[in-house]
Structure 1
Amino acid sequence: MSLPSDLAQRLQAIIQSPTYRLAHEDPALLGEDAQRALRLQLELLKPERALRAEGVGSTVVVFGSARITDPDTAAAWVATLERGVLENPGSVALARALGLAKRRASQARYYEEARRFAQLISLRFQREERKDFVVVTGGGPGIMEAANRGACEVGARSIGLNITLPHEQGPNPWISPELAFRFRYFAIRKMHFLMHARGLVAFPGGYGTLDELFEVLTLIQTGKIAPIPVVLVGRSFWSRAVNFDYLVDEGYIEPKDATLFTCVDEAEEVVAALERFHGTRRPPVPPT
């Protein structure tokens, strides 16, 4: 039996009302400040369930600058700017941009080392259904892209932990789709980086890279997590970016704190550092 038009309109208004939605289907409710604890819990649970379902046993974290590009892209940028400088020899802006482009071209070697490291570690630990030392990155461009790419190129899987930012950073296309995640909260993302980590590899980078590196070193220093190997790639960069000897001399860190990491230059050295560490220690305990 059809309802009178006025009642039919009222019924339609009820069905369309935001209050009539199921709670878990109400984005406005989930987005409220009062639901922050629930959102934090969901961000902790969702990736962990997926990793467990995919059988990921352990990971190795790769950090580094989002601004480093592959050699071909860097070379093309230099060539374009060189033509621009020739056509506009008095442009200070172009001259500065060319100088930066040349630095990016020299930094592109780190892209290749990250790519090669991911190939080496993935080939070794993702065979015959084994899923250990799975590469995990922040999911963006630059060094993150290089590491995800290296794993993909040898038929292995890798993880990307993207973060929502004011200027949105999309995922790079080399992440395994079933292991691609996006976070609202840096804190929960940081936890996921370390929950299964058997090593941290840090390439040259800026604030984000330094933030992640020093947080891990602090957690190891204070005993909040069991030690894992921390490998810094690029001796020339790290010796200038952070003067660890100065921190020791001034008494801000203990001499033993300067041994919590290893500096190397090449992908094979990273693998060797991981081997040395795990050859003499038990697997680390996940953070609580």
Structure 2
Amino acid sequence: MPATIDKNLQKHLDQLQKELREPAELFAKNGIHNTIVFFGSARIKPQDSTQSEMDRLHRDFKGVMMKDQEEWDELDRASHAHYMSRFYEAAESLSGKLAHWSRTHFSTRDQHFITTGGGPGIMEAANKGASQAGEPTIGINIRIPTEQHPNPYITPGLSLHFETFPMRKFWLMYFARALVIFPGGIGTLDEFFEIYTLMKTRKATRYIPIVLFGSEYWKELINFETLVRFNTLDRSSLDFFRYCDEVDEAFSFITDEIMRDRERSGS
């Protein structure tokens, strides 16, 4: 008697197959072979939004002699949000510069498309920068209950929607020629470490330059030196990524590495 696959498992297998085949057809149809992928928090807002909130709170605080803890906490959260908003502006600027560089340095076939997870925050900023530079930009979204909804700067026809994380990660990675990772939460960490592991174990088919943008955030969040000190990570493994704090620095590193890789591969 032939073995039969559980119906629920078959349903998942069918979904995975669909999410492997349909994006492949879309990318082929649009001539997409290279991407520069931006990761980062969906919660980071543009500076004009956070500045408006700070202005409101400062107005509310004027003339109030006594303030309760809840009011101080609200001001503290708003201050942190305003501080983090600089990364929205940086992602927008860097994305725009990279999109313009791609257009001026490559043929249509070899263009490097700015790609994100398709949601708000840093993802929105990167799609916005490329869109305002007049270039197509991709969003690879995932259906989850909160935070993740397509931003308005994704090029029509290049917004993908996934039900499964494995296939979404596959397509975020497959055409990637560089990764720019801005401050983010668990999702950003998951994406970074998965790609970092592929690079470290040589399971990635080619070298992919990785930028960790915002050294203060990343060095406080992950102390790689501790891993090296306790011999759970080789120091050479730190060469797989680079900290950057300025848009021009990240731009130069990414573009130099992409061009160097093309020279090595003879493309």
Assess same fold via TM > 0.5.
Answer: yes
Q: Which residue of 2 aligns with 1:92?
A: 69
Q: Which residue of 2 aligns with 1:28?
A: none
1:91 CA drift (Å): 3.0
Output the TM-score relative to the length of structure 2: 0.89
Secondary structure, in 3 states, of the residue corresponding to 1:252? coil
CA contact (8 A) 1:230 1:262 kept: yes
Output the TM-score relative to the length of structure 1: 0.83
Q: Which residue of 1 aligns with 2:3?
A: none
Secondary structure, in 3 states, of the residue corresponding to 1:223? coil
- The 2-side partners of 1:197 and 1:218 are apart by 15
Q: List alignment gaps of at least 5 residues for structure 2.
A: 1-6
After TM superposition, the structure 1 stretch with the greater mean CA deviation from structure 2, 267-276 or 67-76, is: 267-276
Of the three residues 180, 184, 188, the one matched with 1:205 is 184
Q: List alignment gaps of at least 5 residues for structure 1.
A: 1-30
1:126 CA drift (Å): 2.7
Deviation by residue 1:83-118 (Cα, 9 ceiling, x = unmatched)? 344476433222111111111111111111100111
- The 2-side partners of 1:233 and 1:42 are apart by 34
Of the three residues 263, 269, 274, the one matched with 2:249 is 269
1:43 CA drift (Å): 0.6
Deviation by residue 1:142-175 (Cα, 9 ceiling, x = unmatched)? 1000000000101101110111112362100000
Amino acid corresponding to residue 92 of structure 1 in structure 2: Q
Secondary structure, in 3 states, of the residue corresponding to 2:17? helix
Q: Which residue of 1 aligns with 2:169?
A: 190
Of the three residues 170, 174, 177, the one matched with 2:153 is 174
Matched, 1:248 2:228: yes
- The 1-side partners of 2:8 and 2:94 are apart by 42
Deviation by residue 1:13-37 (Cα, 9 ceiling, x = unmatched)? xxxxxxxxxxxxxxxxxx9553211
1:129 CA drift (Å): 3.4
1:74 CA drift (Å): 0.7
- The 2-side partners of 1:245 and 1:168 are apart by 33
Q: Are the structure 2 counterparts of residues 84 and 91 from structure 1 closer, same or farther at C-alpha, using a change threshold of 3 Å?
A: farther
Amino acid corresponding to residue 94 of structure 2 in structure 1: F
CA RMSD across the alignment: 2.0
- Count matched residues: 255
